Amino acid sequence: MTSLAPTTPLAQTTHAIELAGVAKRYDSAPAPALGPLDLAVAQGEALAITGPSGSGKSTLLNLVAGLDRPTEGTVTVAGQRIDRLSEHALARFRRERIGMVFQFFNLLDDLTVADNIQLPAQLTGTARRRTAARAGELMEVLGIQKHARAYPGRLSGGERQRVAVARALVNRPALLLADEPTGALDTASGQDVRELLVDLHRGGQTIVLVTHDLALAQACASRTIHLVDGHLALDTTVEAVR
């Protein structure tokens, strides 16, 4: 008999991220490093992931970034289910939709600041002039314009991280992901990066931030989840970022 049931409606989600029944077990490990867990993150939310070392924070971030795949469950990011994508499609998804910032910046030392920032846009085939304009705008906003022609090795840690943030934002990603972005910075530079993240959140950017630094979580995040042994131990939303 032909079913008259409507076809599955398109996901009318306002969620930037939806994890359903997600677990990640590494190779021969006896238990999953993460999950199983469900998590939905709204667009415009700034989510901090905290928890002790080994609790699964980076594992969770990497699943959302499409850098790794779950062993169970589904991962939907910016309306797209990514856990079953081919490597090629996943690489494209990451280039176009995800901006990522790491503890140790991961800049290319042989490229100038401006070229580092422009690289992700060049990889997506954006016109050169538009890319240069976007990079210029970001450098100005982030206060690194004067270093455009310098090489990253000449910059302070805080300046390098601002370059990394500019690079992460050049393609206007749906999601900005950061894994311990202040972990390698001195207090003053950490404070700069913190303020930068607060500004980005106020501007509507969806952010997921992994940090050991509770002050950073409190300052930047509208919501904090705390992981213990790969499970959600706490999930707190604050009314407004101060």
Ligand X SMILES: Nc1ncnc2c1ncn2[C@@H]1O[C@H](COP(=O)(O)OP(=O)(O)OP(=O)(O)O)[C@@H](O)[C@H]1O
Which chain residues interact with ligand X by CB under 6 A? 26-27, 33, 51, 53-59
Residue 56 or 158: the one with the smaller Cβ distance to ligand X is: 56
Spatial CA neighbour of 115 closest among 133, 135, 100, 101: 135
Show Cβ contacts of residue 175 under 8 Å, excluding neighbours closer than 6 positions.
16, 17, 64, 77, 78, 97, 98, 99, 206, 207, 208
Q: How far apart are CA 2 and CA 115, in angstroms?
A: 57
Q: How far is the CB of 192 from ligand X (least distance, A)?
A: 23
Q: Given candidates 50, 55, 58, 211, which one binds Mg ion under the rule CB under 5 A?
A: 58
Residue 49 or 200: the one with the smaller Cβ distance to ligand X is: 49
Q: How far is the CB of 56 from ligand X (least distance, A)?
A: 4
Residue 65 or 117: the one with the smaller Cβ distance to ligand X is: 65
The partner in contact with residue 56, picked from ligand X, Mg ion, none with C-beta cut-offs of 5 to 8 angstroms by kind, is ligand X
Peptide bond into 70 cis (omega under 30): no
Backbone angles phi, psi at 233, to 5 degrees: -100, -20
The partner in contact with residue 104, picked from Mg ion, ligand X, none with C-beta cut-offs of 5 to 8 angstroms by kind, is none
Q: 3-class DSSP state for residue 15?
A: strand
The partner in contact with residue 59, picked from Mg ion, ligand X, none with C-beta cut-offs of 5 to 8 angstroms by kind, is ligand X
Annotate 219-241 with DSSP letters as a single string: HH-SEEEEEETTEEEEEEE-S--
Under the binding rule (CB under 5 A), the answer on residue 118 touching Mg ion is no
Residue 58 or 224: the one with the smaller Cβ distance to Mg ion is: 58
Residue 123 or 228: the one with the smaller Cβ distance to ligand X is: 228
Instruction: Point out which residues bind Mg ion (CB under 5 A).
Output: 58
